[in-house]
Amino acid sequence: MFEAGGFGVAVTVAQAQPFDPDRWGPPPVGVTRRRSRLTDVLDPAGFTDAGLAAELASIADVRAQLAAYEAGVVAELAARRPAAWDLTEEHPGHRVEGWSPDRVPASVSEFFADELALVAHISPTAATVVTERSLALVHELPATWAALADGLIDPARATAIVRALAGQSVDAGGPVDPGIVGEVEPRRWAGRWRGRPRCGCGSARRRR
């Protein structure tokens, strides 16, 4: 147990060693093996009120960093599962429009959402949403991704920006000049990170 006054939660890089309780053999009677929980090493009861407030701010920062990292990881994995790998109309078993109730992200294999759902332990529908958000952040809205990675905005605001601006640029198949999207994007997260967006959702559309 660390002293709360000198330690707090943070994101770091460590050697990947998956938790495998079976490698130690059967546990003694009455003993349960599990990985350590954060509250096992950082007891909230050990913090002052100011310390608890600081920890909540740190947790928000960690959440933003992990959301940006998730977007980067998902976008990289999606790039390794291109739609070019899927069967074409010339091959039996190719994709038919309407075969799935979920959307298939553009340029990504039709099976990617299923793979992501399996490894991330989420539903295929949620995996599709995560894929689309990740691709938009990494490839279309890099300034928003950077703000998220730096903890300047939270995941909720990043998602709101994606919903408003993703697919709007001509480069992404939309009707708006990329320069306009690039001009509007930073206004959506400028200022206090928990404040209201300074620019209306329809800014890009009004300036077509």
The total number of residues shown for the chain amounts to 208
Summarised one tens digit per residue, pLDDT across range 33-87 is 887 889 988 899 989 999 999 999 999 999 999 999 999 999 999 999 988 756 5
Per-residue pLDDT at 206:
37
Kindly report the average pLDDT of the chain as a whole number.
Answer: 80
Within this chain, do residues 184 and 167 fall inside the same structural domain, yes or no?
Answer: yes
Give the tens place of pLDDT for each residue, 129-159: 999 999 999 999 999 999 999 999 999 999 9
Which phi and psi (to 5°) does residue 62 adopt? -60, -45
Range of the structural domain that residue 150 is part of: 142-208
Domain contains 37: no
The residue from 86, 113, 140 where one domain ends is 140
Residue 131 in any domain: the answer is: yes
What residues have CB less than 8 Å from 107, skipping those under 6 apart?
A: 82, 83
SS3 12: coil
Same domain, 134 and 72: yes
105, 121, 140 - which closes a domain:
140
Structural domain count, the chain = 2
Q: What residues contact 146, with CB distance under 8 A and at least 6 apart?
A: 68
This prediction has a pTM of 0.77
Query: Which residue reads 């793979």 in tokens?
Result: 115
Q: Which of 33, 41, 31 is nearest to 10 (CA)?
A: 41
Domain stops at, among 121, 140, 159: 140
Asked if 150 and 105 sit in the same domain, the reply is no
pLDDT at 3 over 50: yes
Nearest CA among 78, 76, 84 for reference residue 113 = 78
